[in-house]
């Protein structure tokens, strides 16, 4: 999902794409690009080649209408993102108004060829098109498709602006996802589920040699582990000449293999999450079991991926205290590992998402949050980075209890 610059980012990226492609034709090198409505696009004194990019409609995307945010966890209630399809009218104007040569036709052909060859906007293209936008980080790609307009559609569109029809073609851009600015409800984690905190367990009865992860024993339980902590894996067919745990994040384009510690067996192995190996966030983990590594007969078997969180750690000494002034409070926390640029960061107090993190241009180990509507009281403090929460439960006790991760607002 992205911020409110998403629509402008699509328009700016489209303009950059077409500008670079049109400039390759010497006959069209004088082309100017505008974003005006139809009745103001062409001034009477203009005589150069011109392409006007007019966003004439934004409609809800049916697939994403009323869907829950992808990052919302079980038990949390958030507001759905705004999914939009954008409709652009590309209008060409020829040099000297096409008196001697149909330059507008030539420009239209060039534009349609560019759109045909480049229907999907690249993530780097979007990031560089408009400062401050994060549209390139959304999971869905922005795709353009030709939208033929009927004669009636064209008549209604142009007559509505009370101007003469000019050579035009329409394109649809889908899908643009804008995040809701309303905070999500984030209840505290459940301390225990059922007697003995046990659930249904099952395993295949046929002893295949495909690795299977049946359990992950992490210091934070189901909430993952912090950098520097050991994570133990239990399962089936985990023994081999070389055993690794592969951490993959599609969102961050990260794939890191951590070698198993000494003492791995056919049913268990463990890895240590390095302090600078993995940024905080949600990963999928696979067990990689290799036999005869480095030899021609090497065989590597992989388990099915399992969801796992590398939790951010607030390194400040708890409890924390902050004073509210005029209903506003400012809190600075130190975190490990450093938060990377474009990571989504928020501060959770008890059951509410109270503040979002600053926009970063470089990795940062210190984050400052502005807490609006700060009410005096003591709150359970959690830091969320890319969907992974800092650990607040002590799982080493006989019964789980909350750690002293509190913030007092006075």
pLDDT digits (tens, 9 = 90+) for 46-93: 889 999 999 999 999 998 887 766 556 777 777 788 999 999 999 999
312 and 225 Cβ atoms separated by less than 8 Å:
no
CA-based torsion, 142, 143, 144, 147: positive or negative: negative
Host H or E run for residue 93: strand 82-93
- The full length of the chain comes to 410
Quote the CA–CA distance of 311 and 391 in Å, as a whole number: 7
CA angle 10, 13, 18 (to 5 degrees): 125
- Quick one: residue 260, left, alpha or beta (phi over 0 = left, psi -120 to 50 = alpha)? beta
pLDDT per position as a tens digit, 4-54:
999 999 999 999 999 999 999 999 999 999 999 999 999 988 889 999 999
- For residues 238 and 266, the answer to whether their CB atoms sit within 8 Å is yes
Q: Report pLDDT digits (tens) over 270-279.
A: 999 987 778 9
Do residues 410 and 324 lie in contact, with contact meaning Cβ atoms separated by under 8 Å?
yes
The pTM score is 0.63
């Amino acid at each position: 999902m992205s911020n409110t610059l998403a629509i402008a980012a699509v328009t700016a990226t489209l303009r950059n794409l077409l500008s670079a492609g049109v400039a390759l034709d010497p006959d069209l090198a004088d082309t100017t690009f505008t974003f005006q409505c139809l009745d103001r696009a062409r001034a009477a004194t203009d005589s150069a080649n011109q392409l006007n990019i007019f966003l004439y409609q934004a409609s809800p995307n049916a697939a994403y209408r009323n869907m829950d945010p992808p990052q919302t966890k079980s038990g949390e209630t958030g507001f759905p993102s705004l999914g939009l399809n954008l409709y652009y009218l590309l209008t060409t104007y020829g040099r000297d108004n096409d008196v001697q040569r149909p330059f507008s036709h030539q420009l239209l052909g060039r534009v349609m060829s560019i759109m045909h060859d480049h229907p999907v906007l690249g993530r780097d293209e979007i990031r560089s098109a408009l400062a401050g936008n994060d549209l390139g980080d959304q999971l869905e790609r922005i795709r353009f498709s030709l939208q033929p307009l009927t004669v009636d559609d064209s008549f209604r569109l142009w007559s509505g602006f009370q101007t003469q029809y000019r050579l035009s073609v329409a394109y649809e851009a889908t899908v643009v996802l804008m995040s809701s600015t309303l905070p999500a409800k984030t209840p505290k984690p459940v301390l225990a589920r059922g007697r003995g905190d046990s659930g249904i367990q099952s395993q295949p009865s046929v002893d295949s040699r495909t690795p299977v992860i049946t359990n992950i024993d992490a210091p934070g339980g189901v909430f993952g582990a912090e950098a520097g902590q050991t994570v133990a894996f239990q399962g089936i067919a985990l023994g081999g000449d070389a055993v690794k745990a592969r951490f993959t994040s599609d969102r961050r384009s990260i794939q890191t293999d951590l070698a198993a510690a000494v003492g791995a067996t056919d049913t268990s192995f463990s890895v240590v999450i390095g302090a600078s190996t993995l940024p905080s966030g949600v990963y999928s983990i696979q067990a990689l079991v290799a036999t005869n590594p480095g030899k021609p007969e090497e065989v590597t078997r992989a388990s099915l991926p399992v969801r796992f969180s590398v939790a951010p750690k607030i390194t400040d000494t708890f409890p924390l205290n902050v004073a509210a002034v005029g209903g506003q409070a400012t809190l600075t926390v130190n975190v490990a590992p450093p938060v990377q640029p474009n990571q989504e960061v928020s501060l959770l107090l008890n059951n509410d998402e109270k503040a979002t993190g600053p926009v970063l241009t470089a990795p940062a180990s210190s984050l400052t949050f502005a807490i609006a509507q700060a009410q005096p009281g003591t709150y359970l403090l959690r830091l969320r980075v890319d969907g992974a929460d800092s650990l607040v439960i002590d799982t080493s006790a006989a019964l789980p209890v909350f750690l002293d991760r509190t913030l007092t607002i006075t």
